[in-house]
Structure 1
Amino acid sequence: MKQFDESLNWFKGNMHTHTTLSDGVHTPDEVIEIYRAKGYDFLALTDHRRLSMPETVRGMLMTGGVEFDYMLDNECIHIVGVGLRSAPELDPPMIGQSAQQAIDAINAHGGFAILAHPSWSMNTLAVTLPLSGLGAMEIFNSTSDAPWNPARGDASQFVDLTYTRGKYTPLVASDDSHSYTGEHTRSFTWVNAKELTLDSILDAMRAGRMFASQGPRFTQIEYADGVLRVDCEPVERAIVYSNLPWAAHRVFTGGLTHFEYTPARGERYLRVRLDDADGNMAWSQPVVIG
């Protein structure tokens, strides 16, 4: 099975962004121009508890969005919603509500719910595994990384712990831009869709036709006849992750554009990370094999 439809188009977007409407330093118009100038195709303004609506601005699709946040005893949960066509009844979200209610409301209003920065939030599986209806989770969040925060931007371990327990939530990468001092336009998601419309982008995301990136690009991922085959633009290294703590021959190096991996006995899922020469990464969706 192939992850991508080669007859469709690729669109680049960021689904977690803040403006002066909450705790960002730039106005919505300024933020839109920052991302438009960097070649983004779509963008979600996801201010805290402040919904933005879908529209097209200067040729860039604005998917609409909002971020809800909930404090627990030893962790917090942030839920980003994109693609909403009306406001969820979650005002104020900090009082008498829950992350699950936010997810349910986002989905009920036609949106796509994302678990934001789980490593930064100190999320535990006891809290997150019971959540239902998530469309994706952030495997990388730029603002959660150093120097803006104590280097908890990469949620790879959280992802593998989640997948090892059989919950294969798709992955995105986002900036979560606030200060616009280098965290912006760093991490993004490529979506394999028919056209640049809200419906087409959401349909592709729900189908898992997307990958998270900071630069490297997958061109195709296929699992057939017991072999994982990966095509990509040239990278320095590729790593295959799974539920097993150890398995041989899962690291590939040296100007890669294609590699193949035969799963070891006991591997139930595979996911791939690409690394380029500058240290930028890309992350695939999981391939469930058993």
Structure 2
Amino acid sequence: MIFMTATAATPARGPHFAGPGAWFRGNLHCHTTESDGNVSPSDAAAGFANLGYDFLAITDHDRITDPATVDAHGLCLIPSVELTASAGLLGTEFHILGIGIDPSTVLPPRTSPGRVSSAWLRNQGAAVFAAHPHWSGLTVDDLMGLTIDGIEACNGGTTLDSLKGEAFTHWDEGLLRGASWTGLGTDDTHWHTLDRGTAWVMVRATERTPGALVSAIKAGNFYGTTGPAINDVHLEFVDDGRVLKVHVHTSPVAAMYLSGPGARSRHTFHETASAITSVTEVDPARMSITSHTFEVDLTVSGPARYAGRGTGQRHIRVSCMDWNRGRAWSNPLFF
């Protein structure tokens, strides 16, 4: 959980924007010929190196592809796996990502319940995420029973093959019910179609090593994106804590969003965008924004505003969209 300890006098910047280190781009969901992918592990690494990535987790189904056996092509390879487990409330399988796991580890059987396999991965020191909940037919109740750090909010591969790759509604409901999940962007690359470079994470870590990257991912020090960059988000309480200011800085985008529980959301766009009367008037260079401060009156509807019904902990998350419909989203910021 990313908890913001801002006071009226001291703004708080999320650790995933102000922590030590640098930003690293990576994909945390990729398959090869070691399971049901179409290219070898070394060719997969070459493909992502050519896209300018810094790291890759090869998550073959129910087996760990040892990075020591792979030509990394300059990438940092994180030993990882996608475990199959049974069974959701609607009879569907769980697919659970374990990011950062000893390649010599003997995996649990596919028949293990999801709650058992997810807890087992956590005990192995992995960062644990539920893969493509919408595609898998999982309910939020299914997810609440797992031991996970988060879920795939956007899975590019299952968006391409079935339009079931997004799970933002699962994510938001889980947060409302007291979960502290983070939200990945991944490709779920199988090398079948255009399933690479569609969604990724930007991780802020102290160094580009498996240990440092996994530690940062567990801490939530990343954001997901399909294109834009979120450069900074920080919170500031003013007026004796009655008003929350959320300062956002991004790459040039068409719109920014502040999302809270239920309908408690805001958006903003360039002041000239509302005057568009013809598509020929759209000029992204002129109509983009790169910073905005959202102001939230925390006294409206009582002190629990922006809190869900689970723990009562208040939270927001920030997202943006560029003129090509690319999106980026922060992890939830609790305050």
Larger radius of gyration: 2
Is the contact between residue 88 and residue 106 of structure 1 (CA under 8 Å) also seen in structure 2?
Answer: no
Query: 2:262 is aligned with what amino acid?
Result: L
Provide, for residues 36-55 of structure 1, a one-character-per-residue CA deviation record: whole Å limited to 9, x for no partner.
11110000110101112345
Query: 1:215 is aligned with what amino acid?
Result: G
**1:284 maps to 2:330:** yes
Equivalence for 2:96: 79
Q: Which moved more, 1:117-126 or 1:32-41?
A: 117-126
1:130 Cα deviation from its structure 2 partner = 2.3
Equivalence for 1:44: 57
Equivalence for 2:37: 24
Residues 256-267 of structure 1 aligned to structure 2 (within 5 Å): 256-264=289-297, 265=300, 266-267=305-306
Partner SS, residue 160 of structure 1: helix
- Distance change in 2, residues 1:99/1:17 (3 Å): same
Query: 2:132 is aligned with what amino acid?
Result: H
Q: Count residues in correspondence.
A: 282
1:258 Cα deviation from its structure 2 partner = 0.9
Instruction: Provide the C-alpha distance between the structure 2 equivalents of 1:270 and 1:22, rounded to a whole number of angstroms.
Output: 38
Q: Which moved more, 1:64-73 or 1:77-86?
A: 64-73
Equivalence for 2:26: 13
Instruction: Provide the C-alpha distance between the structure 1 equivalents of 2:236 and 2:24, rounded to a whole number of angstroms.
Output: 26
- The runs of at least 4 consecutive aligned structure 1 residues that moved more than 4 Å come to none
Instruction: Provide the C-alpha distance between the structure 2 equivalents of 1:174 and 1:87, rounded to a whole number of angstroms.
Output: 25
**1:253 maps to 2:269:** yes
Equivalence for 1:143: 157
Provide, for residues 221-266 of structure 1, a one-character-per-residue CA deviation record: whole Å limited to 9, x for no partner.
111212111111111111221113255xx11112121111123531
Is the contact between residue 189 and residue 210 of structure 1 (CA under 8 Å) also seen in structure 2?
Answer: yes
Q: Which has the higher helix share?
A: 2
Structure 2 portions without partners, runs of 5+:
1-11, 238-243, 271-287, 308-314
From 155, 175, 184, give the equivalent of 1:163.
175
Is the contact between residue 235 and residue 257 of structure 1 (CA under 8 Å) also seen in structure 2?
Answer: yes
**1:236 maps to 2:254:** yes
1:283 Cα deviation from its structure 2 partner = 1.0
Provide, for residues 139-159 of structure 1, a one-character-per-residue CA deviation record: whole Å limited to 9, x for no partner.
10011113x11x111111111
**1:215 maps to 2:227:** yes
Instruction: Provide the C-alpha distance between the structure 2 equivalents of 1:22 and 1:280, rounded to a whole number of angstroms.
Output: 30
Partner SS, residue 259 of structure 1: strand
Equivalence for 2:46: 33
Structure 1 portions without partners, runs of 5+:
none
1:61 Cα deviation from its structure 2 partner = 0.4
1:24 Cα deviation from its structure 2 partner = 0.7
1:104 Cα deviation from its structure 2 partner = 2.3
**1:62 maps to 2:72:** no
Partner SS, residue 120 of structure 1: helix
Q: Provide the identity percentage.
A: 26
If the length of structure 1 is used for normalisation, what is the TM-score? 0.91
Partner SS, residue 59 of structure 1: coil
**1:152 maps to 2:152:** no
1:22 Cα deviation from its structure 2 partner = 0.8
Is the contact between residue 214 and residue 282 of structure 1 (CA under 8 Å) also seen in structure 2?
Answer: yes
Partner SS, residue 44 of structure 1: strand
Query: 2:141 is aligned with what amino acid?
Result: A
Query: 2:123 is aligned with what amino acid?
Result: A
